[in-house]
Amino acid sequence: MKDIAYVIGVDYGTDSVRSVLVNAHNGEEISSSVYYYPRWQKGLHCIPSENQFRQHPLDYVEGLENTIKECISKAGADVAPHVKGISIDTTGSTPIAVDRTGTPLGLLPEFSENPNAMFVLWKDHTAVGEAAEINEHATKFDTNYLQYVGGIYSSEWFWAKLLHVLRVDEQVRNACFSWVEHCDWIPFLLTGGNDVMQLKRSVCAAGHKSLWAAEFGGLPPNNFFSSLDPLLDGFTDRLFKDAYPSDQAAGNLSQEWADRLGLSTDVLVGVGAFDAHMGAVGGQIEPYHLSKVMGTSTCDMLVAPIAEVEDKLVNGICGQVPGSVIPAMMGLEAGQSAFGDTYAWFKRLLIWPLEQLLSQSQVISAETAAALMQEVSDKIIPELTKQAEQLPLSENDAFAIDWFNGRRTPDANQLLKGAILGLGLGSDAPRVFRALVEATCFGAKSIVDRFEAQGVPVKGLIGLGGVARKSPFIMQMMADVMNMPIRIHKSEQTCAIGAAMFAATVAGVYDKVEDAMEAMGQGFDAEYFPDSTRAALYASRYKQYKAHGKAIENLVPTAKLQVTDKQEEVVR
């Protein structure tokens, strides 16, 4: 009989953190727990109109402790001695300024309310100017330091955010010893780290967001950064040279955290990674199948044998890094800056009158107004979906461009804006909603087109995440637009389950994560196939989408982050 072995996967999302307790031998979910960040829910440290989105480290710490303890409590006290490993994933790039001990500045009393001392969330776009400078600066060097991140650096990433924070906040600048990704800090916290120079950085975050590459011997040299801005002089010496795949241990659970969680210090803590990377593993990714984690944004992962793709550098994506998803394979990342966020924006737009006027009503009580508001809020997207599904498809329908939070890929440009075109007096809410859904599907197709145009075939689609499981309407349209089937993974928590698979590998239950995937994977429970008639119509409309998108780009000339001839040549 196999020894009893449980593992814990922790998945940090934009709004909440979820932990799952899993049987390491068969992937059975024993218990789970979700914690919504209280400070984030209040909108603290965020200015949406300025694209500033920050999260307090206490939201993360409290969520970590609460969810793991609740998982153990639900499962029963006899489970705790058999927990062998913990692994975590987070949104990314979501870095923070830390002191020499690795303590986030936001946890220090003098910085407890300073937004620049908080985690800079993945969708924070305050560093657009810095990203543009990095892209221009990179053209001055014989080595193309952007070649492994798609040739264009994004404001959503590590260095742009660091430079922006150093520039705008002298107090943080003087106290900041180093800059750490969320996915690297949580394992450091759990293992009792007190020296940031000993913190193990993940190859996932390092390669896709920090310009780390084995070919460079680590990070680009100091003079690349110091000549960009003297504020960055010497920073590489306070960061890292080595990066680690997530099948390796960051260390053992510290005594402090063992006591807090009711676990043993024998528990191994894995090196962290970004949510979509571990989510792709939880969703049983296959070579050349695009694993699409669809939530507020999308993150699209593809893995392929290193020998088959190492000489192909795909321009305009979020990088390709050996071992960033599955240790023995090349991991390629792309994605959309807004997916579910686009639908949420439209919902907020439609519901605004109720939010503003119901509370002033002289007809109904405040209690009834609140209940009505909640009922409408819950029903609005399902009803829009129901009515949009019934609309006939026409080449002359309204169009939308899906850049409501800028464009992540292909060709990062966070200054771009979304658009809705072709409206008339008959353009009602379901028709506009349908155009928005179509636009997000067209944005997904542009990613597939970029992979295929540059020599990396996409042989299939795997849908993961809340939108994939909850909206047959959107998934059927995705299959029609892509003109290929899309399988939907059975698990509702692929990111957390992926983290659990890595925890099982780190703990030695499996020799490699592929074995954990096979044993612990839950399989697929739905598949959508393209309709040939609709696919043909969408192919025609997609050409118009591309033309409209080019026109929108031309209306915002300052938004263009040009890829120079030299970069293009190296990327090819």
Task: Return phi, psi of residue 230, to 5°.
Answer: -55, -20
Q: Is residue 307, in this structure, part of any structural domain at all?
A: no
Check whether residue 121 and residue 147 sit in a common domain.
yes
251 in the same domain as 197: yes
Task: Report residue 557's pLDDT band, with 50, 70 and 90 as the boundaries.
Answer: low
Tokens describing residue 335:
């994605």
Say yes or no to pLDDT of 77 above 70: yes
Average pLDDT rounded to a whole number, residues 466-471? 91
Q: Give the position of tokens 């953190």.
A: 17
Classify residue 89: in a domain, yes or no.
Answer: yes
Flag whether 301 is in a domain: no
**Residue 242: inside a domain, yes or no?**
yes
Q: In which domain, by residue range, is 99 found?
A: 6-283+491-525
**pLDDT surpassing 70 at residue 567:** no
Same domain for 368 and 264, yes or no, is: no
Q: How confident is the model at residue 2 (pLDDT cuts 50, 70, 90)?
A: low
How far is the C-alpha of 196 from the C-alpha of 541, rounded, in Å?
A: 51
Q: For residues 233 and 380, state if they share a domain.
A: no
The per-residue pLDDT for 311 is 82
Quick: pLDDT tens for 487-532: 999 988 999 999 999 999 999 999 999 999 999 999 999 999 999 9
Residue 41 predicted with pLDDT over 80:
yes
Looking at residue 379, its amino acid is K
Sequence-distant (6+) residues with CB within 8 A of 243 are 201, 202, 203, 206, 207, 212
- CB-side neighbour CA atoms (13 Å) of 104: 29
- Mean pLDDT, range 206-213, rounded to an integer: 97
Considering the domain architecture, whether residues 420 and 499 belong to the same structural domain is answered as: no
Residue 562: band (very low, low, confident or very high) from pLDDT cuts 50, 70, 90: very low
The yes-or-no verdict on residue 164 having pLDDT over 90 is yes
CB atoms within 10 A of CB 387: 15
Q: Does the residue 258 lie in any domain?
A: yes
pLDDT tops 60 at residue 175: yes
Q: What per-residue confidence (pLDDT) applies to 223? A: 97
Question: How many Cα neighbours within 13 Å face the side chain of 198?
Answer: 11
Contact criterion met (CB below 8 Å) for 38 and 26: no
Letter for the amino acid at 153? Y
Cα dist from 85 to 230, 247, 282, 473, 557, whole Å = 42, 11, 16, 38, 50
Q: What is the pLDDT of residues 101-153, one digit of tens each?
A: 999 999 999 999 999 999 999 999 999 999 999 999 999 999 999 999 999 99
Query: 521 φ, ψ to 5°?
Result: -65, 145
Rounded CA-CA distance 546/481 in Å is 13
282 has a pLDDT exceeding 80:
yes
pTM to 2 decimal places: 0.90
Structurally, the chain folds into a number of domains equal to 2
349-367: per-residue pLDDT in tens? Answer: 999 999 999 988 899 999 9
Question: Cα–Cα distance between 83 and 502 in angstroms, integer?
Answer: 14
106 found inside a domain = yes
For the residues 164-170, what does the mean pLDDT come to?
A: 98
Indicate whether 391 and 443 sit together in one domain. Answer: yes
Of the pLDDT bands very low, low, confident and very high (cuts 50, 70, 90), residue 559 is very low
CA-angle at 494, arms to 492 and 498, nearest 5°: 150
CB 45 within 8 A of CB 115: yes
State whether 42 and 132 are in the same domain.
Answer: yes
Q: Nearest-CA neighbor of 154 among 8, 19, 316, 276?
A: 316
Q: In whole angstroms, give the CA distance from residue 8 to residue 499.
A: 8
DSSP state of 491: -
511 and 362 belong to one structural domain: no
**In this predicted structure, what is the pLDDT of residue 96?**
98
Confidence of residue 329 (pLDDT cuts 50, 70, 90): very high
139 and 200, same structural domain? yes
Dist. CA 123–CA 487, nearest whole Å: 27
pLDDT at residue 207 tops 50: yes
- d(CA 463, CA 465) in angstroms, rounded, equals 7
Nearest residue to 398 via CA among 544, 554, 536, 550: 544
Average pLDDT value over all residues in the chain: 94
Are 440 and 500 members of one domain? no
Any idea what DSSP says for residue 564? Answer: P
Domain CATH code at residue 181: 3.30.420.40
Q: Are residues 539 and 511 in the same domain?
A: no
At residue 3, the pLDDT reads: 87
Bridge partner residues of 179 (DSSP) = 97
In a domain, 305, yes or no: no
> Is the domain of 380 the same as that of 481?
yes
Q: Does some domain include residue 435?
A: yes
Q: Residues 393-401: what's their mean pLDDT? A: 94
pLDDT tens track for 406-442: 999 999 898 899 999 999 999 999 999 999 999 999 9
Tokens in use for 391?
Answer: 């609309």
The pLDDT assigned to 1 comes to: 43
* Interatomic CA distance for residues 431 and 439, integer angstroms: 12
pLDDT over 70 at 558, yes or no = no
242, with CB counted inside 10 A (0-12, 13-18, 19+), is exposed
Beta pairing class for 95-98 and 289-294:
unpaired
User: Any idea which of 62-66, 368-372, 513-517 has the lowest mean pLDDT?
Assistant: 368-372
Euclidean distance between CA atoms 139 and 143, whole angstroms:
9
